[in-house]
Amino acid sequence: MSLEYLPNIGGADQERLSILAEVYDEGSQNFLSKNLPKNTKRLLDIGCGHGQMAFWLSKNYPKCHILGIDSSQEQVDICNELSKQYNTNNVAFKLHNIADNELEEDKFDVVYIRFLLMHVRNWDACLNNILKSCKQGALILIEEPGFPYECWPKDNEYFQRANDLVKQMADIASLNYDCFPKLWQKVQELNVNIKNVQFNMPALVTERQKSFPFISFEQIREPLISAGVTNDQEFTTLISKIRELVKDPNYIMGSWRMMQLAIQKK
């Protein structure tokens, strides 16, 4: 398997993904509204998570059929339950790992990915499978992050240490949490036209928003300790110190920057 998802999944990750939606969804919605054609008929949402963007697309593009796929059955189950609650009739969800295989369905007019490639080891295979899953001339809308998190004032050694540990963990797992350099290089190698590129970096100001990097870091405790890059004592200290930052109104944080790309398959 070429996908390595280090955070929690399913119900164990509902709080983090809820905060992620609060922080990022407005920027993602603006990006999609600007670049997604109103006459889109079939859209594939890859790595749909708990369906936040799939349900938004369903509501705002009622004539479009949306298929959300995820490599986790727990995520798909949550999406299907929410779909019943929302009584949606133009969105469906399916278990599928695009990092390993193309989707053998009717080809799609638009493919959307957000926070996907950062969890993928083999980008070439994944991107080729994405291209095979869409029509010629299809639009591929990509949102991927640049690492690290920021913190102001920039004088906190514990926050910086947490960033360093996450980077080490990504290197050990052969993942690219800082997607910008590789992503920009890869899209120029693909058989695509680059239609639009922009950046988005939401500020984390409220205590709830600032808890996003804290929760994300806390969830990878076991992988970090198992990899030998930290120990239980240091991690416990870091969590305590970062929790203080979350509660301190004198600190603000910057979420991961997002590169937002609109590319078109030739």
Tens digits of per-residue pLDDT, 210-228? 999 999 999 999 999 999 9
Judged against a pLDDT cut of 90, whether residue 103 lies above it is answered with no
Amino acid at 198: Q
Task: Measure the CA–CA gap between 35 and 38, rounded to whole angstroms.
Answer: 9
pLDDT band for position 1 (cuts 50, 70, 90): very low
Tens digits of per-residue pLDDT, 229-241? 999 999 999 999 9
What ranges do the domains of the chain cover? 10-265
Q: Provide the 8-state DSSP code for 156.
A: -
Judged against a pLDDT cut of 70, whether residue 261 lies above it is answered with yes
Judged against a pLDDT cut of 80, whether residue 106 lies above it is answered with no
Tens digits of per-residue pLDDT, 64-101? 999 999 999 999 999 999 999 999 999 999 999 999 99
Task: Measure the CA–CA gap between 226 and 62, rounded to whole angstroms.
Answer: 46
Task: Measure the CA–CA gap between 124 and 120, rounded to whole angstroms.
Answer: 10
> In what order do the strands lie in the sheet containing 203-204?
150-152, 252-254, 203-204
CA atoms within 13 A on the CB side of 174: 8
Q: Are 88 and 55 in contact (CB under 8 A)?
A: yes
Q: Are 260 and 198 in contact (CB under 8 A)?
A: yes
Q: Which CATH number fits domain 10-265: 3.40.50.150, 3.30.300.30, 3.40.190.10, 3.40.720.10?
A: 3.40.50.150
**pTM of the predicted structure, to 2 decimals:** 0.94
Handedness of CA 57, 61, 62, 67 (dihedral sign): negative
pLDDT band for position 35 (cuts 50, 70, 90): very high
